[in-house]
Amino acid sequence: MLSSTDVFVIGGGPAGLAAAIAARRHGFSVVVADGAKPPIDKACGEALMPDAIAALKRLGIAVPASEAVPIRGVRFLSSGLSADADFPSDNRSLSIRRTILHRIMSERAAELGVDLLWQNVVTGISGGEVKVGERTIRSRWIVGADGVNSRVRRWAKLDVQSRTELRYAFRRHYRVAPWSDRMEIYWGKQCQGFATPVSDKEVCVAVASRNPGVRLEESLPEFRELSARLDGCETTSAERGSISANRKLKRVCRGNVALIGDASGTVDAITGEGLGLAFSQAVTLADSFVSGNLTSYQTAHRRLAVRPLLMARLMLTLDGRPRFQQRVLQVFRKRPEVFRRLLALHVGALSPIHVALDGLTLGWGLLTA
Ligand SMILES: Cc1cc2nc3c(=O)[nH]c(=O)nc-3n(C[C@H](O)[C@H](O)[C@H](O)COP(=O)(O)OP(=O)(O)OC[C@H]3O[C@@H](n4cnc5c(N)ncnc54)[C@H](O)[C@@H]3O)c2cc1C
C-alpha cells in the first residue's frame, strides 16, 4: 500500500476529481479518498453553465451529447408571468445527472492514473500527513474537497468566514418529458423552485429558501405552473437536501493545505455556478502546485468568486419580494435585451461595464412599471 504521494485530495466529488485530474495532467502523483461509494449523488440543479463546460474541456473532459441535455437559456416565472433569455450563441450550457457526471469524471481520473480510494473516510491531517482509516499517507500537498461542511477547513483552521448568507435546498427527480429547453426559475413568496431537464424523460426539480422548514413537495403548490406539470408524475429519486449559501472564506490555503469547491466557500444554488467555479479553481490550483506556491491560488480563487457572488446577490434581491418580482419580469418582457444581456453578464460573456446601461434601463423600467 502506497505511503506517500505528491497530492492527496480529500473528497471525490466533482471538485476533488477536477483537482485530481488537473494535478495529474501536470505529472503529479495523486490520491483521492472519499467516504462514499460511486457514483456519488448530491442535491444539485444539475446544470453545467458555459464556464463549467469550458473548464471541463481544459481538464480534457468533453461531456458526450448522449449523456446530457442542451440548455438554451433561462426562464423566470412568477405568479402567471414569465420572461425568457437565451445564452449567448457561443456559450453552450448543458444539464446532466450528477451520477453520470461523477462517472465521467472518475473514469477520466482513473484513466490518467489517479489512485481512487472509495469508501475511505479521512479522519485527520497533521503536517504533511493524512489519516485514512488505520493508514497514514504522507503528501506534499493536501486538498480539502470535502464539501459544504468541510472538516478539512476546520482541521486547517481556515474556517474564518468574511460573510455567509445561509439558505436551505432540496431536490428530487420526476419522470416526465421535458416541457422546455430552458432552466426554469419559479419565484415564490419565500422560496424559489428550479426545474431542469436531465434526459428526454426526467426533470430535476429543486427548491431553495432561507427557511429551513421549507421542503420540496410542500412548497410545490406555491409554483402553480410547475405543480400542474408534475401532477401525477412518478418520482425517480429520493429527496436530498443541502445547504446553499453565499459563503466567502478569508483564506482558502494554509501551509500545504488548500481548499476547493464547496469546502472553499460557496455561491447560492440559484446561480448554477458551483460546479463551474470548482472546475476553474482546480485548473488554477494545479498551476500553483507547479509554481510551488499557493499564493497564486488564493488570489485566483478570490477573483473567480467575484462574478458568481455578485450575480447571486443581484438575483436574491428578488427573494421574498413578490411585487418586485412582478415588476422585474414586466421590464424583462418589455425589454428582452436587458434580460439577455444580464444573462450574458452572468455567464461572463459581458463585463459589468457593458451592462451598466441595462442596469439603468432596468431601474428606469422599475420606476415606471
Ligand atoms: C439545490 C442545489 C442546486 C444546485 N445546482 C447547481 C447547478 O445547477 N449547477 C452548479 O454548477 N452547481 C449547483 N449547485 C452547487 C453544486 O452542487 C456544488 O457546488 C458542488 O456539488 C460542489 O462539489 P464539491 O465536490 O465541492 O462537494 P460535494 O459534491 O459535496 O463533494 C464532497 C465529497 O467529499 C466527501 N467527503 C466529505 N468528507 C469526507 C472525509 N472526511 N473523507 C473522505 N471523503 C469525504 C463526500 O462523500 C463527497 O463525495 C447546487 C447546489 C444545491 C444545494
Supply the pTM of this predicted model.
0.95
Amino acid at 136: T
Whether residue 276 has its Cβ less than 6 Å from ligand 1: yes
Distance CA 7, CA 137 (A): 10
The string of pLDDT tens digits covering residues 267-316 is 999 999 999 999 999 999 999 999 999 999 999 999 999 999 999 999 99
The string of pLDDT tens digits covering residues 60-113 is 999 999 999 999 999 999 989 999 999 998 888 999 999 999 999 999 999 999
- Residue 83: count other Cβ atoms within 10 Å of its Cβ: 20
Domains of the chain (ranges plus CATH)? 4-67+97-163+246-315 (3.50.50.60), 166-243 (3.30.9.100), 321-368 (no CATH)
Distance CA 144, CA 252 (A): 9
- Residue 97: count other Cβ atoms within 10 Å of its Cβ: 22
pLDDT band at 265 (very low <50, low <70, confident <90, very high): very high
> Quick check: 57 and 284 in contact, CB under 8 A?
no
If you take atom 11 of ligand 1, which residue's CA is the nearest one?
275
Nearest to 340 by CA among 73, 146, 161, 145: 73
Looking at residue 2, what is its pLDDT? 76
Whether residue 169 has its Cβ less than 6 Å from ligand 1: yes
Whether residue 242 has its Cβ less than 6 Å from ligand 1: yes
Does 261 score more than 80 pLDDT?
yes
Nearest to 243 by CA among 142, 150, 126, 355: 150
Pull the grid cell for residue 104. 465521467
Nearest to 48 by CA among 90, 95, 14, 87: 95
Name the strand (E) or helix (H) holding 297. Answer: helix 295-316
Does 206 score more than 70 pLDDT?
yes
Distance CA 32, CA 49 (A): 25
Greater model confidence, 136 or 1: 136
Looking at residue 364, what is its pLDDT? 67
Query: Mean pLDDT throughout 175-200?
Result: 96
Whether residue 278 has its Cβ less than 6 Å from ligand 1: yes
If you take atom 16 of ligand 1, which residue's CA is the nearest one?
274
Whether residue 167 has its Cβ less than 6 Å from ligand 1: no
Looking at residue 268, what is its pLDDT? 95
